[in-house]
C-alpha cells in the first residue's frame, strides 16, 4: 500500500475497542506517542480515561493502523 502512495497522511481515525493494554509503553507505538497522534482516550464502561490497563484487542487493531517498528512486519504489538 505504501508503494501505491497510501500512507494515512492527513487522516484522523477513531478506534473504539475493549482496551489498549500496553499501547502507552510498547515501542511499536512510540511514533504515535512522540508525534501526539493519540488525540484522546475514554473508557465508556468505567467512565474514565484509563484504557491502557486492560484488554488487548484494541491494541492489536491499533497495531495494524499505527504500529511501527522499522524493518518489521507487525502481527501484533503487545510486548514490542
With H, G, I as helix, E, B as strand and everything else as coil, classify residue 8: coil
Q: How far apart are CA 11 and CA 28, in angstroms?
A: 20
Cα separation, 3 vs 9, in Å, equals 14
Residue 43's φ and ψ, nearest 5 degrees, are -100, 105
Contact 55, 61 (CB under 8 A): no
Residue 39 CB neighbours (<10 A): 8
* Confidence (pTM): 0.77
Question: Where residue 69 falls among pLDDT bands split at 50, 70, 90?
Answer: confident
Q: What is the DSSP letter of 48?
A: B
What is the reported pLDDT for 77?
52
The whole-angstrom separation of Cα 53 and Cα 24 is 9
pLDDT of residue 41: 94
Q: List pLDDT tens digits, range 15-37.
A: 999 899 999 999 999 999 999 99
What average pLDDT score do residues 49-70 get? 89
Domain spans, the chain: 1-80
pLDDT band at 78, cuts 50/70/90? low
Mean pLDDT, range 54-66, rounded to an integer: 89
Amino acid at each position: 500500500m505504501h508503494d501505491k502512495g497510501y500512507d494515512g497522511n492527513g487522516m484522523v481515525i477513531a478506534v473504539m475497542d475493549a482496551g489498549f493494554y500496553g499501547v502507552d509503553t510498547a515501542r511499536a507505538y512510540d511514533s504515535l506517542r512522540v508525534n501526539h497522534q493519540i488525540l484522546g482516550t475514554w473508557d465508556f464502561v468505567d467512565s474514565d480515561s484509563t484504557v491502557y490497563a486492560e484488554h488487548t484487542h484494541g491494541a492489536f487493531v491499533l497495531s495494524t493502523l499505527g504500529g511501527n517498528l522499522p524493518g518489521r512486519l507487525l502481527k501484533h504489538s503487545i510486548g514490542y
